[in-house]
Amino acid sequence: MPITDSPCPQCGHPQATRTQGMSLIAECAHCGWMVATTNPAHPFHDRTPYTVRARPQGITRATAIARLSATLGTGVHAARAILDQDSPVAENVYAFEVIRLHKLLWPQGLSLQVTPEFPWELDDSL
């Protein structure tokens, strides 16, 4: 755990911080004092509007169209148009929605192209 510059308010020893989900926790190993607050460095608080496009990864075009259609709940024609015209699957969405789309599309063999550059990890940790 990283040590903060802020001393423990209880005993004056250094505090260590860690994140847990959407919380930032500071605690003192010396006396056990602890406080939790909102973690400002969590994707939930990212209000950047993102544009998301789907990219087939290791699957045929026909499979990509079928899976995109099923996952997004669109017709085959609409899914084909999204891929053929390089249209976004989502526009002006926040980071948490990008992460949700990744969790839906990645298992289907579709990766995301996100603009502007997406600063968060697209994995299962969130």
Q: How far is CA 88 from CA 36, 80, 115, in A?
A: 38, 12, 10
Q: Which of 115, 111, 100 is nearest to 68 (CA)?
A: 111
CATH code linked to domain 44-115 = 3.30.1390.10
Kindly report the pTM of this predicted structure.
0.75
Is the distance from CB of 112 to CB of 53 less than 8 angstroms?
Answer: yes
Domain residue spans of the chain: 3-41, 44-115
Q: Categorize the per-residue pLDDT at 89 as very low, low, confident or very high, splitting at 50, 70 and 90.
A: very high
Sheet containing strand 50-56, strands side by side: 90-93, 50-56, 110-115
- pLDDT (tens digit, 9 = 90+) per residue, 91-111? 999 999 999 999 999 999 999
Residue-level pLDDT at 1: 61
- pLDDT (tens digit, 9 = 90+) per residue, 1-52? 667 778 999 999 999 999 888 889 999 999 999 999 988 888 888 999 999 9
Assess whether pLDDT exceeds 60 at residue 54: yes
Residue-level pLDDT at 21: 81
